[in-house]
């Protein structure tokens, strides 16, 4: 469903190690917003609902809400270092268009509003 690179898994687990939560999940989803219509929601979460899909990838416990699944099937999450900074990258085969800054995207099945940049 979603692939997490070894480098991204190390970074995620390192970030999670500083949280004092009984359960720590990586919540992956999409939210309406941005120039192209959808933005990624990638964050730690300590609560899983009955509607969430749950799986482990490279030692990371991932949860995803059912509404996001169609937009994220095949998503590859990586962590890249460029110069003195680093960040997570998303390679999503469902993306048909994205904004110039890469913060939002649109898929063929997305029916929501598209905002102007």
- pLDDT tens for 57-80 read 999 999 999 889 999 999 999 999
- Beta-sheet strands, E only, within the chain: 3-4, 25-32, 38-45, 52-57, 60-65, 76-82, 85-91, 95-98, 104-107
Q: Where are the domains of the chain?
A: 3-107
pLDDT value at residue 111: 63
What average pLDDT does range 26-41 have in this prediction? 87
Separation of CA 98 from chain center:
15
Can you give the pTM of this predicted structure? 0.84
DSSP H helical ranges for 1-117? 6-16, 69-72
Poorest-confidence range of 13-22, 80-89, 93-102? 93-102
Please give the distance of CA 20 from its chain centroid, rounded to a whole number.
Answer: 22
Answer whether 45's CB lies under 8 Å from 63's CB: yes
Instruction: Give the fold, CATH level 3, of 3-107.
Output: Hypothetical Protein Aq_1857; Chain: A; (2.60.300)
Q: What CA–CA distances, in Å, run from 11 to 2, 25, 85, 92, 101?
A: 16, 14, 13, 20, 23
DSSP run (H or E) holding 110:
none
Structure tokens at 99: 């904004």
């Amino acid at each position: 469903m979603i692939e997490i690179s070894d480098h991204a898994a190390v970074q995620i687990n390192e970030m999670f190690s500083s949280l004092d939560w009984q359960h720590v999940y990586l919540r992956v989803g999409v939210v309406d917003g941005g120039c192209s219509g959808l933005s990624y929601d990638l964050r730690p979460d300590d609560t899983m609902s009955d509607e969430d899909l749950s799986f482990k990838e490279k030692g990371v416990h991932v949860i995803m809400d059912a509404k996001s699944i169609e937009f994220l099937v095949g998503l590859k999450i990586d962590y890249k270092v460029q110069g003195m900074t680093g960040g997570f990258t998303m390679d999503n085969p469902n993306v048909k268009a994205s904004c110039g800054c890469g913060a939002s995207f649109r898929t063929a099945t997305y029916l929501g509003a598209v905002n102007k940049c």
